[in-house]
Amino acid sequence: MEGKTLKELKKDWLKDPEIRAIYDSMAFEFYIASVLIRTRLKAKLTQTELAERMHSTQAHVARLESGKFLPSLTSLVKYCEAVGQKIVIELTPRK
């Protein structure tokens, strides 16, 4: 029997209304995590290399990229500086 891909498992799990509600409530955390990961990969850095630049640990970088919580602004600034980026904060009206 062939196993399911992660994408297929996610699709199946999100059919459950309770799981979907939890997932949707964390959309912003997942978005931030995906931006961080894409930025690190674009900079061609491993988590360990990035941690060294941040004067931190690989475990800390992994937590920042996990999507399980919102990182502090201080951590985001250090992360961005370590990958040669800057943070731009923009407030816009809700739709």
pLDDT digits (tens, 9 = 90+) for 62-78: 999 999 989 999 999 99
Query: CA–CA separation, 48 vs 56, rounded Å?
Result: 9
**51: containing domain:** 6-82
Residue 41 lies in a domain: yes
Taking only the tens place, the pLDDT of each residue in 11-21 is: 999 999 999 99
65 within some domain: yes
Whether 1 has a pLDDT exceeding 60, the answer reads no
Looking at the 3D structure of the chain, how many domains does it have? 1
pLDDT more than 90, % of the chain: 81
Percent of the chain with pLDDT over 70: 99
- Domain for residue 20, yes or no? yes
CATH number of the domain where residue 51 is located: 1.10.260.40
Q: What is the pTM of this model?
A: 0.77
Question: Is the CB of residue 72 less than 8 Å from the CB of residue 60?
Answer: no
Residues 6 or more apart whose Cβ sits within 8 Å of residue 56: 78
Kindly state the tokens that stand for 89: 């904060």
Residue 94 lies in a domain: no
